[in-house]
Amino acid sequence: MAKKLSDLDLSNKRVLVRVDFNVPLDAALKVTSDARIRESLPTIRAILKAGGKPVLMAHLGRPKGKVVESMRLLPAANRLQQLLGTPVRTCGDCVGPAAESASRALQQGECLVLENLRFHDAEEAGDAAFAAQLAKNGDVYVNDAFGAAHRAHASVSGVPALLPSAMGLLMQKELDAFHRVLHAPARPFVAILGGAKVSDKLPVIQNLLPKVDTLIVGGAMAYTFLAQQGIRVGKSLVEKDLLGEAGKVLAACKAQGKLLLLPVDHVCAAAFKADSPASVHTGDIPDDLMGLDIGPESVKRCVAAIAVAKTVVWNGPMGVFEMDAFAKGTEAVAQAVASSGAFTVVGGGDSVAAAEKTGVVTKLSHVSTGGGASLELLEGQVLPGVAALG
């Protein structure tokens, strides 16, 4: 089991912390959403309180091993300083004499933000020599970047092999939430899966099905299941190569006595456009239309199932929620999850965005900061960044 932050002696130590500062910037290079920076604050403050000196490393964007001026971490460092109210230093690189010197010059109460890790190809390659260079910037290591924990990168899985290591408070919070739903869920346990493709969520379905009581499937991925049942789905997205797998899931639900809720009616349009006229169809979808959201009867069934749940996991929208005409299903599910009284975990960028759009984030038990990492946990995988912590 990975050590916790409180297990490390941090006093007067340089604490090399992998954080997730992959934040959006506008044209003026100002941070437009500081949510990820805010999520790192409890760990950083705990380190400062314990007398440690936080040396923060992160990536931003996809510079592909080259220095890209618009992807420097200075805007994130500036925002961190505003939020912390204590000095935050920066450095022009994340490795080498300048970085090591800056880390050793750090004073009590100060933080240092190293430059973008991905300015070096060696970071994403998981290069051991690069990890050794990074390790020179700290005396102990803390991983608080759940959003990067599914990547076997040098800063994620290489450095903890070289320094005394622990998980940060955000990482601990994420792992605790997913452990609770995957290994000790209060029942009824309802899983809500949506999104475009069955292929993206099939491993999640296979891992969750034995654990849940009810599985709700929405979004375009539902049409592969409906097509497998012989229902006409018009121009809706169907992954024909996965019809067989969909059939296996349907059979498994029946054999295991699981309640599977697929859409029974649909909000349809002739084109994937925000201004395309929408109409509701029950059962078969006309050949010239495509389903872009679940219909009102499907919404009622989903809401009823969620209302009695004691544990809810939600990953993926019910329709094209970015377009107002096709957002009602996702919004209704978001409201139902928020008001259910269950222990609720929401993961995946689209689901989080939908929760934010609907204004229910504060009513949810846990909103994950890592889309890819949360998906891999739901698939039953061990994250490289967690495994490396021991």
Residues with a known catalytic role = 36, 197, 349, 372
Contacting residues for 223 by C-beta, under 8 A, at least 6 apart: 233, 236, 237, 238, 291
18 neighbors 388 (Cβ within 8 angstroms): no
Judging by beta carbons within 10 Å of its beta carbon (0-12, 13-18, 19+), is residue 97 exposed, middle or buried? exposed
Sign of the torsion angle spanned by Cα atoms 294, 174, 306, 229: positive
Q: Which of 133, 322, 320 has the alpha carbon at shortest distance from 237?
A: 320
Give the C-alpha separation, 149 to 2, whole Å.
13
Strands, DSSP E only, in 91-164? 111-113, 140-143
Question: How far are the Cα atoms of 162, 268, 299, 317, 331 from residue 325, in angstroms, in the given order?
Answer: 53, 10, 15, 14, 11
What number of CA atoms fall less than 13 Å from residue 84's CA on the CB side? 27
Contacting residues for 340 by C-beta, under 8 A, at least 6 apart: 306, 307, 309, 312
| Residue given tokens 């009590």 in the structure block | 108
Indicate the helix (H) or strand (E) that contains 133.
Answer: helix 128-135
Q: Say which DSSP state 157 is in.
A: I
3-state helix, strand, coil in the chain (%, to 5): 45, 15, 40
366 neighbors 345 (Cβ within 8 angstroms): yes
Compute CA 186 distance to the chain's CA centroid, rounded to the nearest angstrom: 23
196 neighbors 295 (Cβ within 8 angstroms): no
Indicate the helix (H) or strand (E) that contains 250.
Answer: helix 243-256
Contacting residues for 26 by C-beta, under 8 A, at least 6 apart: 32
